[in-house]
Structure formats: C-alpha cells, structure tokens
C-alpha cells in the first residue's frame, strides 16, 4: 500500500534554516501536505502543493517537490524556538478515494 516516510528527529540552532525531508511511494499522489503539531494539540495545516508544481513559497516556508524521486521537503528559514514541534508530511491521491496518508512525523528541536 501507500507509504510516507520521514526522518524522526531534527535539531537546529535558532536563526538557522531547517530542512525536513519526506519520501512517498504513491506515484499517483495529487496533493502533498505539511502539517505542524505542537504538544497536546491537533494538526495545523502549514502548506500544501499540487503534484504538478515543483516549488511553493509562503513567507518563511519553502516546499520543494521532486516528483521523479517522490521526494518532498519543507524548508523553514530563520528557524525560531516557536517552530519546535512535530512536522507531518502527508499525501493524498485518487488511489483509494483520496484517502490522506501521513508520515510518522519529524520532531524539530530548536536550540536557543
């Protein structure tokens, strides 16, 4: 079945850029998402990209999509301590009725 994989941890210093990577297996993925989850909270949609796009920029966030390699990344510029959270990559496609498949999440630690 479809699968989404992410590295589990990332640690950066405040002010540096963070890059969180994700790979997926479903070649028919249509939408790819990045969600943020703070401790004890639900998921907040950060940004999403259509599969026919290579890049999307939104303020400090840059999403890059390499469809050939099925690789998605999220770059956070000028990372702040408030960015410390779990970041989930997710994809949906018309395989199985646009069910959204989530990765296990990357825990971002930002050191002051």
Distance CA 112, CA 110 (A): 7
Query: Shortest Cβ distance from residue 109 to other proteins (Å)?
Result: 15
Distance CA 18, CA 7 (A): 13
The interface with other proteins within residues 53-82 (CB under 8 A) comprises none
* Residue carrying the six token digits 């840059």: 62
Query: Shortest Cβ distance from residue 10 to other proteins (Å)?
Result: 16
Of 29, 76, 103, 108, which lies in the binding site for other proteins, with binding defined by CB under 8 A?
103
| Coil, helix or strand at residue 85 | strand
Residues that bind other proteins (CB under 8 A): 4, 30-31, 33, 35, 41-45, 48, 88, 90, 92, 96-105
């Amino acid at each position: 079945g479809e699968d989404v994989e992410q590295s589990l941890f990332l640690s950066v210093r405040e002010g540096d850029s963070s890059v969180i990577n994700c790979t997926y297996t479903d070649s028919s993925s249509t939408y790819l998402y990045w969600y943020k989850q703070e401790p004890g909270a639900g998921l907040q949609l950060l940004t999403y990209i259509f599969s026919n796009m290579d890049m999307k920029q939104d303020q400090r966030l840059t999403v890059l999509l390499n469809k050939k390699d099925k690789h998605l990344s999220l770059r956070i510029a000028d990372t702040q301590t408030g960015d410390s959270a779990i970041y989930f990559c997710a994809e949906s496609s018309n395989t199985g009725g646009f069910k959204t498949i989530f990765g296990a999440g990357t825990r971002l630690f930002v050191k002051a």
